[in-house]
């Protein structure tokens, strides 16, 4: 077995903040998230030889973390949420006015998304991955990621009562024009 | 172009010039909140346990050569 290089260890350390953010996004619980990150680091360490230097370490680690998350969920006997099987969630959220949307409300809305949609919109909209990278991390087709992101965005807009995507708040017409999800 | 603008472009749109990339861009309320939510998580202080864990893994590594 090849020893783990110092550089690899340093890179792992550097990736921890991102891993924790992704883990919290998935689990919605900071204790579970840190356990998940710990598992991820141990797994990454054990299989460091399968990482190809020069490729995207963050994507590699996110893949491990995500696999670990879903395998833990299966072990706990929890059905992985299926986006189509979920009832439209309702939460009393005040309509966003003049682009002032409370971060707490946003967090609450994000929590209501099914896992597959939440991870897709996080990977694309926040973690800075391309659709191709996100598809690789999730082990699915690029088109699947696109549709999940689109559905996640639509659902967030519904929950948060944002009808359009205009910076200064939508008027009736722009809401009609921009309200439909990107495909 | 300011560095901040570059960061935003790199982070949000980047290589994605198609549909949803823009839909989650900095002009979108959802896109901005998403970044804000995530950036807050990323900037959270990392507990020591992770650095300790890596040190432990490192020490455990040359198990056969331990004296």
Tens digits of residue pLDDT in A89-117? 434 444 445 556 788 999 999 999 999 99
In sequence order, the 6+-apart residues with CB closer than 8 A to the CB of B19 are A146, A150, A182, A183
To the nearest whole Å, the CA of B59 is away from the closest chain A CA by 11
CB B35 within 8 A of CB B43: no
Residue of chain A minimizing CA distance to B51: A13
d(CA A53, CA A88): 44
- Which CATH number does A1-77 carry? 1.10.1740.10
A9-39 confidence digits (pLDDT tens): 999 999 999 999 999 999 999 999 999 999 9
pLDDT value for A119: 96
Set of chain B residues whose Cβ sits within 8 Å of the Cβ of A110 = 37
On the question of pLDDT at B66 being above 80, the answer is no
Give one word for A93, left, alpha or beta, with left for phi > 0 and alpha for psi -120 to 50.
beta
The CA distance from A66 to A72, in Å, is: 10
Interface test with A, best of B24, B30, B55 (most A CBs within 10 A): B30
| Inter-chain residue contact B23 with A165, CB threshold 8 Å | yes
If pLDDT is split at 50, 70 and 90, which confidence band does B19 have?
very low
Q: Does ipTM surpass 0.95 in this model? A: no
Residues A159-179: pLDDT tens digits? Answer: 998 765 544 444 444 444 444
- What average pLDDT does range A139-150 have in this prediction? 97
Is the Cβ–Cβ distance between A116 and A148 less than 8 Å?
yes
* Residue range(s) occupied by CATH 1.10.1740.10 in chain A: 1-77
Are A125 and B62 inside 8 Å of each other by CB? no
What are the helix and strand counts (H, E) for chain A?
Answer: 8, 0
Question: With an 8 Å Cβ cutoff, are A42 and B10 in contact?
Answer: no
Which of A41, A126, A150 is opposite residue B20, by nearest beta carbon?
Answer: A150
Closest to A145 measured CA to CA, from A125, A131, A129, A127: A131
Q: Which tens digits make up the pLDDT trace of A44-65?
A: 999 999 999 889 999 999 999 9
**Could you tell me the residue ranges of all domains in chain B?**
3-60
| Contact residues, B window 40-59, toward A, CB-based 8 Å cutoff | 40-44, 46-47, 49-51, 53-54, 57-58
Q: At how many degrees (to 10) do helices A142-160 and A131-138 cross? A: 100
One of 1.10.238.10, 2.40.110.10, 1.10.260.40, 1.10.10.10 is the CATH number of A91-183, namely 1.10.10.10
Which residues make up the CATH 1.10.10.10 domain(s) of chain A? 91-183
| pLDDT score of A118 | 97
Q: Between A and B, how many residue pairs show a Cβ–Cβ distance under 8 A?
A: 118
């Amino acid at each position: 077995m090849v020893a783990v290089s110092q550089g690899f260890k340093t890179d792992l350390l550097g990736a921890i903040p991102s891993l924790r953010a992704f883990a919290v996004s998935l689990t919605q619980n900071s204790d579970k998230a840190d356990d998940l990150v710990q598992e991820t680091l141990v797994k990454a360490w054990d299989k460091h030889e399968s990482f190809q230097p020069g490729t995207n370490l963050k994507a590699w680690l996110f893949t491990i973390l995500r696999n670990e998350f879903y395998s833990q969920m299966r072990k706990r006997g929890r059905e992985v949420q299926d986006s189509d099987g979920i009832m439209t969630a309702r939460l009393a959220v005040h309509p966003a006015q003049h682009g002032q949307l409370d971060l707490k409300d946003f967090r609450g809305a994000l929590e209501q998304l099914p896992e597959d949609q939440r991870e897709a919109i996080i990977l694309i909209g926040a973690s800075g991955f391309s659709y191709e990278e996100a598809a690789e991390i999730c082990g699915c087709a690029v088109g699947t990621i696109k549709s999940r992101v689109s559905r996640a965005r639509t659902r967030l807009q519904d929950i948060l009562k944002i009808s359009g995507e205009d910076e200064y708040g939508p008027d009736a017409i722009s809401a009609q024009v921009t309200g439909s999800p990107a495909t | 172009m300011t560095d901040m603008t570059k960061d935003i472009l790199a982070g949000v749109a980047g290589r994605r010039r198609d549909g949803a990339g823009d839909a989650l861009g900095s002009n979108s309320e959802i896109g901005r909140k998403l970044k804000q939510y995530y950036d807050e998580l990323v900037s959270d202080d990392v507990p020591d346990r992770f650095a300790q864990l890596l040190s432990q893994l490192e020490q455990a590594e040359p198990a056969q050569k331990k004296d």
